[in-house]
């Protein structure tokens, strides 16, 4: 099978996953306790007011009719109107999504930049003091909750040292990066710990491979062996791990955005769940599912580039 057909097959797999997620999130949203009218109007609203608003929003129709309207809206590119914000859901997501994408991307970059060189140092100094120190520090990242790391960074670097803003998103690219640096470091801490442990183990395994011994016997320089042979082969498993943890980074953004008051889709999801805002909950889940699926696809493409056997 050539690579083009393999990529088309991977793209085709996204469609049934997308449909299944749509059905599941539609059902789960309506299984939430309470209803949108109670969240909007409170417990003292009259039955007539609640019935009138339910009719305006189409919530008085049967569940199958509501689901068909939801699916038809997806195919038309219309995700409905937010019950709580009274604006089109597409507009709401378009305003909030860039903050989450920048936060997730920045945290992934920070995690990779920190983890890769430290994994090399730990692997090349196996069981020596640099390896023990690096693994001990990152063990803290694996065992510490994200919200606690965020509060700690917020207290020290924002509230006490005043090096970074306490919260918000800022205006302009430079201001965005400055405001999102601490939230990104919060997400990157645990991500870098997982990445470092995986890459360190992969490097140690590749260093004992026969082709590495053969390269040394040929007299190749150590830097060339590490860059061309060891790193390329060790990254194959690590790239898969990065792709698998994109969803974790997006999930962690829900907590991080709440701690740092970042106006992203994670914070919007929390607000929408409390407001029982069905259109926003459903649409956000689908958008995040598409982003994760695309991240998996990019991971497969990078894997195919690193390992020519993939896709054959």
The answer on pLDDT for 243 being more than 70 is: yes
Q: How many CB atoms lie within 10 A of CB 53?
A: 17
Ordered by where they begin, the domains of the chain are 89-306 (1.10.3720.10)
The answer on pLDDT for 219 being more than 80 is: no
- Strand pairing partners for 76? none
User: What mean pLDDT comes out for the span 255-275?
Assistant: 84
The secondary structure of 1-57 as a DSSP string is --HHHHHHHHHHHHHHHHHHHHHHHHHHHHHSSS-HHHHHH-TT--HHHHHHHHHHH
Q: Which residue has the higher pLDDT, 286 or 38?
A: 286
The answer on pLDDT for 77 being more than 80 is: no
- pLDDT value at residue 2: 65
Confidence of residue 6 (pLDDT cuts 50, 70, 90): low
pTM over 0.85: no
Of the ranges 6-10, 86-90, 208-212, 224-228, the best mean pLDDT one:
86-90
d(CA 114, CA 124): 16
The answer on pLDDT for 101 being more than 80 is: yes
Q: Which residue has the higher pLDDT, 264 or 306?
A: 264
Instruction: Indicate if the alpha-carbon torsion angle 195, 197, 203, 205 is positive or negative.
Output: negative
d(CA 43, CA 32): 17
Q: Which residue has the higher pLDDT, 32 or 129?
A: 129
Question: Which two structure tokens, joined as six digits, stand for 252?
Answer: 């962690």
User: What mean pLDDT comes out for the span 175-200?
Assistant: 87
Q: Which residue has the higher pLDDT, 209 or 183?
A: 183
User: What mean pLDDT comes out for the span 279-307?
Assistant: 79
The answer on pLDDT for 230 being more than 70 is: yes
Q: Look at residues 127, 114, 268 and name the one whose alpha carbon lies nearest to residue 191.
A: 114
Q: What is the mean pLDDT of the chain?
A: 79
Question: 28-38 pLDDT, tens per residue?
Answer: 777 766 666 66
């Amino acid at each position: 099978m050539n690579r083009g057909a393999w990529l088309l097959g991977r793209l085709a797999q996204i469609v049934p996953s997308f449909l299944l997620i749509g059905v599941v999130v539609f059902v789960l949203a309506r299984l939430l306790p309470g209803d949108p009218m109670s969240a909007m109007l409170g417990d003292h609203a009259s039955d007539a007011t609640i019935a009138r608003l339910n009719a305006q929003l189409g919530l008085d129709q049967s569940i199958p009719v509501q689901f068909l309207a939801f699916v038809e809206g997806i195919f038309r590119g219309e995700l409905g109107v937010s019950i709580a914000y009274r604006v089109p859901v597409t507009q709401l997501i378009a305003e909030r999504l860039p903050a989450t994408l920048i936060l997730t991307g920045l945290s992934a970059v920070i995690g990779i930049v920190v983890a890769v060189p430290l994994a090399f140092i730990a692997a090349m100094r196996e069981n020596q003091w640099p390896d023990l120190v690096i693994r001990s520090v990152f063990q803290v990242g694996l065992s510490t909750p994200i919200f606690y790391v965020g509060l700690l960074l917020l207290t020290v670097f924002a509230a006490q040292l005043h090096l970074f803003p306490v919260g918000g998103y800022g205006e302009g690219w430079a201001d965005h990066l400055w405001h999102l640096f601490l939230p990104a470091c919060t997400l990157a801490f645990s991500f870098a710990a997982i990445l470092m442990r995986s890459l360190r183990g992969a490097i140690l395994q590749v260093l004992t491979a026969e082709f590495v011994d053969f390269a040394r016997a040929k007299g190749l320089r150590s830097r060339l062996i590490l860059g061309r042979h060891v790193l390329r082969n060790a990254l194959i498993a690590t790239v898969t791990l990065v792709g698998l943890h994109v969803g974790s980074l997006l999930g962690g953004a829900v907590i991080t955005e709440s701690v740092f008051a970042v106006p992203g889709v994670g914070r919007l999801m929390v607000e929408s769940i409390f407001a029982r805002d069905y259109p926003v909950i459903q649409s956000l889940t689908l958008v995040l599912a598409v982003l994760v699926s695309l991240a998996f696809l990019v991971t497969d493409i990078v894997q195919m580039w690193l390992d020519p056997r993939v896709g054959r």
